[in-house]
Structure 1
Amino acid sequence: MRTTFHLRTLAVAIATLSVASMTNAAGLDRSGQDITAFLQDGTYAEAVYTYIDADVSGYDSSNNDPFNNNYVRGNKTGDIAESYDFFRYGVKTDINDTFSIGILYDEPFGASAEYKGDNNFVANTNPVDSAGEFANDPAPNNPVDGATTAALEPFIIGAENGTSGETTKVEVRSESVTAILGMKFGANKNFQVYGGPVAQRIQADTALRGLAYGLATGYTSHMSPDMDYGYIAGMSFSKPEIALKAALTYRSEIDHNADTFESYPLAQVIGGAATPPRAIPASQTGKIEVTTPKSVNFDFQTGINPTTLATAKVRWVPWSDFVLTPPLYNEASQASGRYGDDGLNLVEYDDDQWQVELGLAKRIAPALAISGTVGWDSGAGDPTTSLGPVDGYYSVGLGAKYNVTENWAVSAGGKYLWFGDAQGQLPTGKIVGDFQDNDGYVAGVKLSYQAR
């Protein structure tokens, strides 16, 4: 016999992808670090699969002078966003009417992008024109920097030849396991405080290729997998008779100190040209410090009538605090004498991320509910890194949940996203790409079990 949806359980019918972030929509955000599995009644378990496919394309800059920041539209980049998928799991149970425990797994942060084709993000075997200068080189109009550029051309060309045909690409993966203990209190057990430890693993690979990166062309880094720990803390309120639930959740920063390998073909040239000259290796192993950002999530739902539920989700992540500073890359930028004593970070963002999503869920049959969402993501600033040139998005989504049995249900959903236009910027401040009118979609499926 099919079960009937009760008002207070309609939240589970919301589309699978409720707070799913999009490829580089804001910083490295991916899963949205959703904890709503822990907020369900009774014993609950879910497994969620999410697939992301985006079209992020634009134009490179035909200005190949590394010391001239003017953007001049050049060649098409093609689609740089690689398809991306990840999983989320959660299980939760009540020990008694006061205490609950749960374990959640997700993949909170990530990136996947690669430039291909005929553009300045791909190493070229012949990156000069018939006059022996960089193609579209603006140096003749800039005598001071033009002279510097001319002196460096043989080295940049040499590095290009050494990586001929190789592409600029980035791959970041992370995994997170969160253990939660909750305690209900109040006359009707309406309030709950919860918290627990978080274990997080992260790894990354980056390759910079092509004339767009100037002296950094040929740079490669590999950050080995590193595990470290943080915590989660939150508070919730519920009023079952009107299906009201509200939860505010804080996740801490997590500091990583990972083994890393870097290769920088032109680092020795940069060091040799410094005043006084500095001995900088072309490659090295060492440590890199990476701090994944803290976050705050607010989840809210309330019944509108016996078959309809309204939801709201808000997420804040201070990406403006995030930096990625590989040691060799930073040392070479210091030696150049152009970027101060602190040198350059490889990745940084200007703005914090705000994400808002509003939804409605409606029971349309005893065992079937549908949901719709609209969303907005602020992005993390424009210009932004050339490794993820998207400035937020708007989204619309649809989802459905079908109760297969009294306890088991399957949900499916999708979102369409309109990305904010962004310019791709190097750490030096040079604009090397312009990306407009891009979009993408997210699709996912969830299998869930609930027993009260």
Structure 2
Amino acid sequence: MPNTFKKIAIALACATATASAGQAGGFNRGTADTDILFEEGNFSMRAGAVIVSPRRGYDTITSPLLGGTVSGTDGNFSDSYVVPSAAFKLQLSERGSCAGTYTESFGAGATYGTQAITAGYADGTGTVSEGFTSNEFGLTCGANFQAGKGRVWLIGGVFAQDFKYAQTVEFAPLTPLAGSRATLAFNDEYRLGYRIGAAYEIPEIALRGQVIYRSAVDHTPNTSQGSFTTVAGVFPTFGNGTLPQSIEAKFQTGIAAGTLAFASVKWTDWSVLQTLNYTIVGPAPIGGARVLEYFWQDGWTVSGGLARQFNEMVAGSVSLTWDKGVSTTEDVHTDTWTVASGVSLKGERGTELRLGGAISYLAAGSVAADPTPLTPGTGNTFAYSVDGDWSYAVGANFKVNW
């Protein structure tokens, strides 16, 4: 039984990683694979990717520029995306190991149709597309010592993440640049953050509990890293915003021969993202201070599932995840429910292939219009609603261990 528990633990990452990427969770995408610290052997390497296809579109749009409330005909505005992940672990001694990790920690992307662009003219510009990515490179180490039947781990490390943002808008009719388009862009350099945590495990029964804290990171792109490009020229731009801190607690344990249960709870401080402030350096009406409004609330992600060892080579897992919506007045990052399943296929010489898939249900929601769209305030430029929508994800990763 102890050996069976050890083998089945490998099935976890496939299901849970796919589930976390498949659900909304604000702008969350990937999580650093620090679990590789617990792998046996002197060296481990794991790499893979998850492809996510959210299918979110407007059900109705309300705007006087469209003649009132109309049915949405633009199709899906949410862009598909890929979340890469890579990690390697070196065993430094019997009591310590270090891991290097890479992932795309945050991101979002949307491309809008004619209806949404036209409705957006209410504030002078209609948004054509918008998106950002944040890559994370990390180094995390863990030291362990014996405590009773198990081991206590102290975990800590640093990471660096960048911030790349782009928004393309179309100027409304009757404006000086009517019909033309402009792009706001930020390419902030890598900024440092840190993670700390602790864990306790009893490998013989695959029991492990851990808590990891990840710090917030401030991004302050200056005029050499920001720009607003129009037919009238390129204008330097600077800004500031914060990507949130988070705390995640995870637990797993063997519950029967060949069967493992696992669960996790994660809090993300999305309320730190109230606005992204920026200033365009140039003459009026182009130049001046601007804000991108979010007014989000904190997010919670709760997940649980089971894993099962079918034979020496094959294990599988299934999980259910609920993610609390973070929107308040500006958009529709609503509650999300995700069912994910994964399979682990072991090969020779410490190799392993993990495959997984997930289906997410995105709850319906609506947003009211800002009564004064030309000045900062709560509410979107135009009112709209979305029905319950779906998101699909497939993922794979490959591990080498020796």
TM-based fold match above 0.5: yes
Matched, 1:252 2:215: yes
Shift of residue 332, structure 1, vs aligned partner: 8.6
Distance 1:356 1:207 in 2: 35
CA offsets 1:269-306 (integer angstroms, 9 cap, x no match) = xxxxxxxxxxxx99631322222111111121100112
Unaligned runs of 5+ in 2: 371-375
From 348, 371, 377, the equivalent of 1:405 is 348
Matched, 1:242 2:205: yes
Change (3 A) 1:120 1:171: closer
1:319 to 270, 289, 302: 270
Q: Is the 8 A contact 1:5 1:366 kept in 2?
A: no
CA contact (8 A) 2:313 2:345 kept: yes
Q: How has the CA–CA distance of structure 1 residues 320 and 264 changed in structure 2, closer, same or farther, with 3 Å as cutoff?
A: farther
State TM-score, norm by structure 1.
Answer: 0.75
CA contact 2:23–2:337 (8 Å) conserved in 1: no
**1:44 paired residue number:** 44
- Is the Cα–Cα contact under 8 Å of residues 16 and 411 in structure 1 kept in the other structure? yes
Distance in 1 (alpha carbons) for counterparts of 2:366 and 2:284:
25
Letter in 2 for 1:251: R
Partner of 2:131: 171
Give the Cα–Cα distance (whole angstroms) in 2 for the partners of residues 332 and 36 of structure 1: 52
| AA in 2 matched with 1:88 | S
Q: Is the CA contact 1:23–1:112 (under 8 Å) kept in the aligned structure 2?
A: no
2:29 equivalent in structure 1? 30
Query: Aligned equivalents of 2:211 and 2:313: distance in 1?
Result: 30
CA–CA distance in structure 2, aligned partners of residues 420 and 71 of structure 1: 24
Deviation at 1:373, TM superposition (A): 0.6
Offset from partner CA, 1:189-231 (integer Å, 9 cap, x none): 610101111111220101234779x999956310024211111
The equivalent position to 1:185 in structure 2, one of 122, 132, 145, is: 145
C-alpha displacement of 1:38: 2.3
Query: Is the CA contact 2:166–2:184 (under 8 Å) kept in the aligned structure 1?
Result: yes
* Aligned residue in 2 for 1:64: 64
CA deviation string 1:119-166 (max 9, x = no partner): 132599xx9xxxxxxxxxxxxxxxxxxxxx9xx9xxx5xx78xxxxxx
3-state SS in 2 of match to 1:315 = strand
d(CA) in 2 for partners of 1:209 and 1:313?
Answer: 43
- Aligned residue for 1:76, secondary structure, equals coil
Structure 2 residue 353 is matched with structure 1 residue 390: no
Q: Among residues 294, 298, 302, which one is paired with 1:352 in the alignment?
A: 298
Q: 1:90 to 1:332 in 2, by over 3 A?
A: farther
Work out which of the two has the higher radius of gyration on C-alpha atoms and give 1 or 2: 1
Paired residue secondary structure (2:14): coil
Q: Aligned partner of 2:360: which letter?
A: L
Change in Cα spacing, 1:222 to 1:439, as seen in structure 2 (3 Å) is: same
Q: Which residue of 1 aligns with 2:307?
A: 361
Q: Take 2:202 and 2:177, find their aligned partners in 1: how far apart are those partners?
A: 57
Whether the 8 Å contact between 2:23 and 2:391 is mirrored in structure 1 is no
Report the Cα offset of residue 48 of structure 1. Answer: 1.6
- Asked whether 1:436 is paired with 2:399, we answer no
**Deviations 1:226-272, CA, capped at 9 Å, x for gaps:** 2111111110100122210111001111122222112589xxxxxxx
- Counterpart residue number, 2:357: 414
Does the C-alpha gap of structure 1 residues 354 and 82 become closer, same or farther in structure 2, counting only changes over 3 Å? same
Q: Does 1:380 align with 2:376?
A: no
Task: Tell me how far apart the structure 2 counterparts of residues 219 and 315 of structure 1 sit (CA, whole Å).
Answer: 38
Cα distance change, pair 194–399 in 1 and its aligned pair in 2 (3 A): same
Q: Which of 93, 98, 113 is 1:96 aligned to?
A: 93
The 1-side partners of 2:14 and 2:68 are apart by 41
Moved more, 394-403 or 4-13: 4-13
Question: Are the aligned partners of 1:122 and 1:210 in contact in 2 as well (CA < 8 Å)?
Answer: no
Once the two structures are TM-superposed, the CA of residue 109 in structure 1 deviates from its matched residue by: 0.3
Per-residue CA distance 1:13-46 (angstroms, 9 max, x = gap) = 1252414545782321111444222233333221
Kindly tell me the number of residue pairs found equivalent between the two proteins. 381
Residue of structure 2 in register with 1:288 after alignment: 239
Mapping of residues 109-124 of structure 1, within 5 Å = 109-116=106-113, 118-121=114-117
Contact 2:30 2:106 in 1 (8 A): yes
SS of equivalent to 1:320: helix
Is 1:264–1:328's contact at 8 Å kept on the other side of the alignment? Answer: no
Q: Secondary structure at the match of 1:226?
A: strand
CA offsets per residue over residues 334-390 of structure 1, 9 Å max, x none?
x99xxxxxx8630323311111111111011121001101111102124443xxx33
Label 1:222 to 1:7 Cα distance change in 2 as closer, same or farther (>3 A). Answer: same
**How large is the RMSD of aligned CA atoms in angstroms?**
3.4
Counterpart AA for 2:311: A
**Higher fraction of strand:** 2
Local SS of the residue matching 1:77: coil
Aligned to 2:55: 55
One-letter amino acid of the structure 1 residue matched with residue 84 of structure 2: F
2:194 to 221, 231, 237: 231
What are the within-5 Å matches in structure 2 for residues 152-163 of structure 1? 156=124
Aligned residue among 10, 13, 26 for 1:12? 10
C-alpha separation in 2, matches of 1:35 and 1:216: 50
Unaligned runs of 5+ in 1: 128-148, 161-166, 266-280, 337-342
Contact in 1 for aligned 2:299/2:326 (Cα 8 Å): yes
Q: Distance in 2 between matches of 1:393 and 1:24?
A: 6
Give the CA deviation at 1:185. Answer: 2.1
